[in-house]
Amino acid sequence: MIKLFHIPDYTIETKNFNHLLHDSVVTELEENFCDYVGAKYACSINSATSAIFLCLLNKNIEVDIPSIIPPVVCNTVITSGNRINFVDNVEWVGGSYVLHDFGNYKVVDSAQKVERKQFIREANHNDLMIFSFYPTKPIGSCDGGIIVSNDWEKIKWFKEDCLNGTTFSKNNWERKIKFPGYKMYMNSFQAFIANENLNILDHKNQRLKEIRSQYNSHFKLENQSNHLYRINVANRSTLIPKLKLAGIPTGIHYKALHENKIYCTEKLILPNSEKEAATTLSLPFHEKLTQSEIQTILKNVDEYADFY
């Protein structure tokens, strides 16, 4: 059966770690990732969700977020002490977007996109940019995330807050309790896998570019994401089981959360989001797809899909 995503497998020798939680591979990942995206400093963390939580913690603000988005973003905005204002942006999926602009700096959520020198192109000196290492993301791991910036004071605070509120030190035994913080640091396993996948990202992206070009040419689309390949169809409910029978898994990315009363009790009209929620469908899209599998996908989509 064709896979929707490809998640690389690794064998990890724990005897090679001098610490299961705080091995030097964690620092190595931070340095390598900074070099890749063009930022000076990084704080690795147990998930991108935790990174968003700390960025918005107790700000007491209204955060504009797309309605077409994973629910974890809404959950994090609310649980960090803020309010949601849904916007009708459906183009961000598979890319990055400004989560919030505080005026003197902004927070960029790039959980679905990682590119060389991306921080230089999309951010300013003291901005914060968040990336995800969720298994299916461009750089997957057993979950995890990272916050980067050129502002050392901001990154130092994250390093302190995600390690129980202790003062920053390269030697953990020299840390002192500074304030009540959180246990949100990245462990050695997460860092090892993310580092290995960072090393092969250029090769992966090149192959994805080739596959995306075939999809775009065939479907007459201009998709640019290296994370998801989405089409819009009018018969999704019947198309999904037909493709499944042909050995082709699909995904829905994502539902319109402004239509969920848990997040929004008032009646909002967001036409782009509502159309996208009803018609979006993600096709298998990963670097291990064979030419035969690609042709199978194209053939079956052509046969069964009613394009919107």
Q: What is the pLDDT of residues 133-148, one digit of tens each?
A: 999 999 999 999 999 9
Tell me which fold the domain 201-304 belongs to.
Aspartate Aminotransferase, domain 1 (3.90.1150)
Q: What are phi and psi of 84, to 5 degrees?
A: -105, 135
Q: For position 91, what pLDDT does the model report?
A: 94
CA 308 vs CA 156, 189, 276: distances in Å: 48, 43, 10
Give the residue ranges of the chain where pLDDT is below 50.
none
At residue 103, the pLDDT reads: 96
pLDDT of residue 308: 83
pLDDT for the residue 50:
98
Reported CATH class of domain 14-199: alpha beta
Give the model's pLDDT for residue 238. Answer: 97
User: Are 62 and 100 within 8 A, CB to CB?
Assistant: no
> Are both 14-199 and 201-304 of the same fold?
no
CA-wise closest residue to 40 among 148, 182, 154, 195: 148
Residues 6+ apart with CB under 8 A from 165: 177, 178, 179, 180, 181, 182
The residues that bridge with 256 in the sheet, in sequence order, are 68
Spell out the domain ranges in the chain. 14-199, 201-304
**SS3 assignment, position 142:** coil
| 89/97 Cα distance (integer angstroms) | 10
Those residues whose C-beta lies under 8 Å from the C-beta of residue 138, and which sit 6 or more positions away, are 112, 113, 114, 201, 204, 205, 226, 227
The confidence score (pLDDT) of residue 277 equals: 97
Which among 246, 136, 279, 130 has a CA at the least distance from the CA of 197?
A: 136
Rounded to 5°, the CA angle 131-165-41 comes to 35
- Give the tens place of pLDDT for each residue, 25-47: 999 999 999 999 999 999 999 99
